Every structure is written in C-alpha cells, then in structure tokens.
Amino acid sequence: MQTTDSQLETFAENVEFLWKQANVPVLPCPPSPIQFLRDHIQCSKPCIIRNAITDENGVPMRLTLDDIAERLDPKKTMLTVDVTPDGHGDSVRTMSDGSSIFIQPAECEMTIEEFRRRLRGQTPAHDRTNIDLNERPILTDSITRLLSASKEIPDESVVYYSRQNDCLRKELPDLYKAFPPGIAWAEEALGPEQPLDAVNLWVGNERAISSMHKDHYENLFYVASGEKVFTVCPPANVAFLYEQRQYRSGRFQVNEQSRAWEVFAEDDDTKAHWIAPDVAILNSDKRDLLLEEYPLLKHVKPLEIRVREGEMLYLPSLWFHRVTQSCETVGVNYWYDMRFDSPSWCYFTFLQQLQHIKEVEDPSTS
C-alpha cells in the first residue's frame, strides 16, 4: 500500500507533466474567443498576448507614470498608496516573541506628484541594507487611519499603488477612458456568467513585492510600461504550499512621535489564511534552508514569467502567483469572475485539505 508521501510524489509528477512548460506560449495577436476558450480557459493554461491593447495608431498602448501625471492634475489628484518598510506587503512575518503574524501595508493618501517623488527617491533594492523587522513589537491597539505622506512616512519606505477595488474605474475615471472598457474577445469566451468585476491600476518598482497568493478571478494583466515578474504555481500545488495555515492579522503603522515602524495587531483576533514561505527562494542557494522548514515545497516547481511592456498575461483563476517588477512599471489588469459551478472548484477545495491530512500523519511537515 502506498504511503501518503509516495502518493503525493506521484501526484506532483502528474501536475508537472500537465502544466510545466519551459516557456509560456506567446501569442502574436489576440486569439479568437473559441481559441482562447479551448486552449487556455478550459485547460487553465497561462499565456502572453501581444497587441492586446493598442492605441489609435495600432501599436501597443504605452503609459508611464509621467504620462499619468500629465493626464491628471499631479498636485491635486489623490492616491491611496500602500506603504511598507521593505516592500513586502500582505505577508507573514515572524516577530520578536516568536509568533507569526500576517501583516498588511500601511495606507497613505498622497498626491500623484508626492507618490512619484517618493517612488523615484527610493534606494534600489540591491543597494539597501535590509531592515530587521523581527524586532518590531506587536501592539494591540487596532487603528485604521491614513498616514500623512509629508509628515509621517520614513524616507526609506517603499510605496506601491496597488489598490484592488476597481480603482481605475472608481477612483481614476478620467484615466480609465484611455483604456478599453473590457477585453472583448475574452468576454465572449467567458460568457455572461463571468462578468468584469474590476479594472485595477498598479504602479511600483523592483522594491515592491506581492507575496504568493491566489485570486478567484480570470486575470488579464497588461503592462503599459516597464516589466512585471510573476512567479507562478498551478492550482494543484495547493496541497504543498501551506496555504491553509492561519495567522493573526495586523497592519503596519508609523509611530507619530518617533516615525518608527510598528505592527498593530487586530483586536478582534482576526485570522488569515496565507502562504508564509517565499517560493522564489526555491530557485536560489537558500533552497535547502527553506525545505527544512517547509518540506512539502520539494514538490513545487515555480515558473517565472516576465511580462514586458506592451504584453498582456492571461493568468487563470486559482493560479498562485508572487509578483514584483524589474523597474518602474505601470500595469492595468482586468478581473473577470471565476466559475464556482465547476468540477475544478470541487477538486481544488479537496486538494486544500490534503495539507491537513499530511500534517496529521507527519507532524514534521507542520
């Protein structure tokens, strides 16, 4: 009789055979709806599409942060920006008392001009000494106020415009007019059961990192300038990513007197499911240290996808992804609802429970 470990090994090999590709397919132009449905949506396979969004001259649309400032009033248009000490937003950190906590970024309201100044004034990641966040105390007073950019944010803070609330349509409607209201060929393939839920704007540089997570959306991400770097794992890897662990929730804030970073824990004992390990380390010389703490990651083979200016990435729903940029980058993504009336959703939720089964059989994996 096979052990759970050997069964998982076989399963991991099947997953790799099904989804692992040396390169994600690059389509020279938008596919027909039937091609997109057949070759990518139904089989849950990412692809890069060129010429997906073009300007009046028929060339890929380009938009930089300077272009945004020209289109909008840079001194009056306000943005709500995510701010962190080191660029890692929405991530699990180990605190000085040994506990692990899921920490969200601080939020700060600032003008486009202030955001641009701070983004470009940041020390490049490779030139900066890492901040030791493990010594930050967990404070128990829950607060939700917005920070004042000019008075409170430490100079070396990392700023990232990464609202996920349909911000382009709701908060920046004048800028939204520059983009198509939706992706027509994708909408025909998805059908009316999967409407457009959000159109979001993303502006940041190589310092900002979104930790590994999944979304319940069909994601079409267009890079208007710069380069996005996605590290992805297929949905079937959920059994190996330690996603079902729960962590107390908190948020970064800046002390008003000392201007030092602090962590405020939520006072309602809110728990969050999140992936603590950084899977990008699996491709580095720190791999063995990571596997000592998270042995099931040996089954995971993350794939890096670089999406360049003028390209659009289709990332199917439930694909796990860690995201950063190689330089100052502007991106726009279209989120379409996923289908929950699908066998794939049932299989996915079953696989989520395999982590619990494995940890019960072998506590060393917990």
**CA gap 273, 137 in Å, rounded:** 22
**CA gap 164, 347 in Å, rounded:** 27
pLDDT at 270: 74
Q: What is the mean pLDDT of residues 279-291?
A: 91
Q: What is the DSSP string of 52-73?
A: SSB-TTSSB----HHHHHHHS-
**CA gap 27, 47 in Å, rounded:** 7
Question: 58 vs 53, 62, 211, 223, CA distance in Å?
Answer: 9, 12, 35, 16
pLDDT at 96: 80
Q: What is the mean pLDDT of residues 3-7?
A: 71
Residue 312 has pLDDT above 90, yes or no: yes
Q: What is the pLDDT of residues 97-150, one digit of tens each?
A: 888 999 999 999 999 999 999 999 976 655 544 455 554 555 555 445 566 555
Confidence of residue 211 (pLDDT cuts 50, 70, 90): very high
Mean pLDDT of the chain: 88
pLDDT at 129: 45
Confidence of residue 45 (pLDDT cuts 50, 70, 90): very high
Sheet containing strand 88-89, edge to edge, reads: 88-89, 209-213, 320-325, 227-233, 303-308
Neighbour tally for 331: CB within 10 Å = 25
pLDDT at 68: 97
Percent of all residues in the chain with a pLDDT value above 70, rounded to a whole number = 87
Residue type, 90: D
Residue type, 314: Y
Instruction: Give which of 130, 131, 134 is closest to 97, Cα–Cα.
Output: 134
Strand-strand pairing, 158-160 and 78-84: antiparallel
Confidence of residue 358 (pLDDT cuts 50, 70, 90): low
Q: Is 329 exposed, middle or buried (0-12, 13-18, 19+ CB in 10 A)?
A: buried
Q: What is the mean pLDDT of residues 161-186?
A: 95
Q: What is the pLDDT of residues 240-260, one digit of tens each?
A: 999 988 999 999 988 878 888
Residue 221 has pLDDT above 50, yes or no: yes
Confidence of residue 173 (pLDDT cuts 50, 70, 90): very high
Neighbour tally for 291: CB within 10 Å = 16
Q: What is the pLDDT of residues 328-341, one digit of tens each?
A: 999 999 999 999 99
Residue 272 has pLDDT above 60, yes or no: yes
The single-letter DSSP state of residue 23 is S
pLDDT at 125: 58
